[in-house]
Amino acid sequence: MSLRSFITIVASPRPRVGKTLVARLLADFHLHNGRSIAAFDINGDDTALTQFMPQHSAPADVTEIHGQMALFDRLVADDGSYKVVDLGHPAFKTFFDVAKQIDVAAEVRRRGLAVVVLFIVTPDATSVEAYAELRRSLLQAAVVPVHNEILGVAQHRDKFAAFGSAAMPIQIAALAPGLRKVIDRRPFSFADASGAAPADIPLEMHMELQRWLRKIYVEFRQMELRVLLSDLTRSLGEPRSNQI
């Protein structure tokens, strides 16, 4: 079975770890590659992703059954789009509990969709336990640790060991404060920043931003290739009667 698109959930049980930034980067990475995307902003009243990407993102709700059904129906829809979920910490447990209850993993596997969780790591016990639980419960997904350098030098990588060849860590380098202010302006687009320098950004800053983006896009591309290779290896090892 060949994977047709990705569902990527950017998540952390902790607030203010750069989760929405990673979701923005991933969504613009897909746009940069000419892909159709659908992004879901599960952050309650803080709809930052939707404000940055109003044409591609919309708020979603998992606090009640109707919202849960609408969201997961969209996620598993085999419509050719790449799905990006910006999962806020208040909805972290509910989202994954519902996903497990309705066995989303089996459905997306049947439809040839890859599921990846980009888990923003922090050294606290809450994050360590949540990461371990996702590894145990999401056997069909790649749970990928993401180290955001803006949170400080990572001294806790041993607490977030990669699980399988598809889940090697991703590194998000810290930006200079001046550039960070630029990308935090809404609705700033990384896809636009990949081209000619905007009039309001000095050329040197624009070039630095492009170098930063290229490194992150390479990380995302390598992550996708690892997931595809892992899926191919697993498919080749399955009995023919079980292959779709």
**Closest Cα to residue 191, out of 64, 24, 79?**
24
pLDDT at residue number 197: 61
Neighbours of 240 (CB within 10 A): 5
Burial string for 100-122 (b: 16+ CB within 10 Å, else e) reads eeeebbeebbeeebbbbbbbbbb
Q: Sort strands 37-42 and 5-11 into parallel, antiparallel or unpaired.
A: unpaired
177 alpha-carbon distance from chain centroid: 24
Measured between its terminal Cα atoms, the distance across the chain in Å is 6
In this predicted model, what pLDDT tens digit does every residue of 149-202 receive, in sequence order? 988 766 676 788 877 667 789 999 999 998 999 899 888 888 877 666 665 778
Residue 236 has pLDDT above 90, yes or no: no
Stronger pLDDT, 85 or 178, i.e. the higher one: 85
For 138, how many CA atoms within 13 A lie in the half-sphere containing its CB?
27
Place of tokens 């708020």: 59
- With 0-12 / 13-18 / 19 or more C-beta atoms within 10 angstroms meaning exposed / middle / buried, residue 15 is exposed
